[in-house]
Amino acid sequence: MSETVPNTLQYRFDGPEDAPVLILGPSLGTTWHMWDRQMPELSKHWRVFRYDLPGHGGAPARPAASVTDLADRLLATLDSLGVQRFGYAGCSIGAAVGADLALRHPHRVASLALVASSPRFGTADEFRQRGVVVRTNGLEPIARTSPERWFTPGFAAAQPAIVEWAVQMVRTTDPGCYISFCEALAAFDIRAQLPRIGVPTLVLVGAEDKVTGPAEARTLVAGIPDARLALVPGASHLAPVEQPGAVTDLLLMHFSSSWQDTLASFPVPPAPTAPFTPVTPVAEIAPAALPDSVPAGRNERYDLGMKVRREVLGDAHVDAATAASDDFTDDFQDLVTRYAWGEIWSREGLDRRSRSCVALTAVVCSGHLESLGRHVRAALRNGLTPAEIKEVLLQTAVYCGVPAADSAFAVAQSVIREETTPPA
């Protein structure tokens, strides 16, 4: 089915109409078809609901600003269908949606499975740079390198048809939506909120996942009160595709058992009588790596400023600046964070693209080229293309002087090459 209103998602149902609803959420760059190999068994016991991310699988290209925005669209879709309570299994960003729902709408989620997930996906800088690469080069570089992120080398070599299918899923994704989800993942961080997830949770991870691997899975298990870990040998990031039998078996066991306590009002599917040959899950608990608390005495303007500063300049730069600060410069760092970022950059009068244009011009005009590189990186993260940055610098040649613009072009050229070159 195609969505009919802007705040709903493209979806499909499989399985008995009177069975409890089980939702399957996709990974970034995939469609609901990533769960095809689970459907023969899962749809025997549940009314399985699968959805596509906006701009994926032919769904309307309406970018989502955050994981919460995407979760709200999913709830709007379920509300329109009269679905109030459900089990939820999601992969990667689909898992982030499930965790968000369990945190904000715990009465709706009966049981949860987080596949290839993390309380924080990599670093914000990594995802924002991926957005810059897509904005500059399109999705082809991402599509070409997806198999090495998603599958083990042996599987990729033995299953060329599946690898090509995966590449085509990425190629047919809307670039604007892909970029918006990179931004959403850059901002996603629930490390401090994990103890508030109160539903039975299965954390499932491929033993060879290099994207969100066993370490991230153990952090989830350590932080969520009622969670257990399932480690799937011979699988990487898209474990449901690479090891379908093991993943199906684990999901059957988890939802069949956990539903009995949390969903008494729904019929509970019987334990499977002929499951796939199981891969024994390995249950492990490790100390959670939770973030430090916000220092006492920081006011809301400082907190907002630090958030915006990190989003615009990147974690690496801000971390380096704060690490180098001492008693002599602390007050200055506080001033910059509160005033420049918490006051000016946070105003609604101009969007961040426009503010980046102003910042680039001002830096060139003032001759402070030592800071131009970080503002070029910020401009790329804020959505300016290399062609638009070139136009800004051409404008500075007229109003700030050719020598200043000449130096600025050399700095910007180096930064743009570094930031927009696709990974090898």
CA distances from 338 to 70, 240, 286, 353, 378 (A): 30, 46, 37, 20, 18
Q: Are residues 252 and 310 in the same domain?
A: no
pLDDT at 297: 43
Residue 269 has pLDDT above 80, yes or no: no
| Mean pLDDT along residues 195-202 | 96
Distances (CA, A) of 332 to 241, 327, 335: 52, 10, 5
Look at residue 284 and tell me if it is in a domain: no
Q: Is 172 among the domain residues?
A: yes
Residue 28 token pair: 């970034």
Rounded mean pLDDT, 301-313 = 86
Q: Across residues 361-387, what is the average pLDDT?
A: 88
Residue matched to tokens 């599987």 = 155
Q: Are residues 218 and 309 in the same domain?
A: no
Query: In the numeric block, which tokens belong to residue 119?
Result: 């309380």
Residues 312 and 249 in one domain: no
In a domain, 59, yes or no: yes
Q: Is pLDDT larger for residue 299 or for residue 183?
A: 183
Domain endpoint, select from 262, 292, 309: 262
- Looking at 206, 241, 262, which one is the last position of a domain? 262
- What CATH number is given to the structural domain containing 330? 1.20.1290.10
Residue 323 corresponds to which tokens in the numbers above?
């690490």
Q: Are residues 242 and 304 in the same domain?
A: no
Model pLDDT, residue 189: 95
Mean pLDDT of 291-305: 63
Report the alpha-carbon distance of residue 366 to residue 160 in Å, rounded: 55
The count of structural domains within the chain is 2
State the pLDDT at residue 259: 60
pLDDT in the model for residue 285: 32
Return the closest-CA partner of residue 267 out of 103, 99, 46, 97: 46
For residue 6, what pLDDT band results from cuts at 50, 70 and 90?
low
The first and second tokens of residue 139, run together, are 């999705």
**Residue 4 belongs to some domain of the structure:** no
Task: Decide if 83 contacts 77 (C-beta within 8 A).
Answer: no
Are 252 and 203 contained in the same domain? yes
Q: Tokens 């299965």 appear where?
A: 202
pLDDT at 339: 87
Helix (H, G, I), strand (E, B) or coil at 253: helix
What's residue 5's pLDDT? 60
Shared domain check, 96 and 184: yes
Tens-place pLDDT, residues 387-416 = 999 999 999 999 989 999 899 999 999 988
Q: Are residues 340 and 240 in the same domain?
A: no
Q: What is the dihedral of CA 382, 419, 183, 176, to 10 degrees?
A: 80
Which H or E element spans position 201? Answer: strand 201-206
Rounded Cα–Cα distance for residues 385 and 356 (Å): 12
More confident residue, 422 or 285: 422
The top-scoring range by mean pLDDT among 56-60, 270-274, 281-285 is 56-60
Residue 76 has pLDDT above 80, yes or no: yes
Please indicate, yes or no, if residue 282 is contained in any of the structural domains: no
Residue 298 has a pLDDT of 55
Does residue 289 fall inside a structural domain? no
DSSP 19: S
Q: Tell me: the pLDDT tens digits for 212-268?
A: 999 999 999 999 999 999 999 999 999 999 999 999 999 999 999 876 544 443 333
Given 242, 262, 282, the domain boundary residue is: 262
Q: What range defines the domain where residue 248 resides?
A: 11-262
Q: What is the dihedral of CA 100, 106, 283, 245, to 10 degrees?
A: -80
Q: Which residue, among 111, 59, 73, 76, has the nearest Cα to 90 in the 3D structure?
A: 111
Indicate which CATH number applies to the domain containing 15.
3.40.50.1820
Average pLDDT over residues 272-280: 38
Residues 86 and 199 reside in one and the same domain? yes
pLDDT digit string, tens, across residues 127-156 = 888 999 999 999 999 999 999 999 999 999
Q: What is the pLDDT of residues 149-190, one digit of tens each?
A: 999 999 999 999 999 999 999 999 999 999 999 999 999 999
Q: Is residue 294 part of a domain?
A: no
Tell me if 292 is assigned to some domain. no
Which is more confident, 412 or 297?
412
Rounded Cα gap, residues 169 and 34, in angstroms: 10
Measured in whole angstroms, the distance separating CA 397 from the mean position of its chain's CA atoms is 39
- Cα gap 298→342, rounded to integer Å: 12
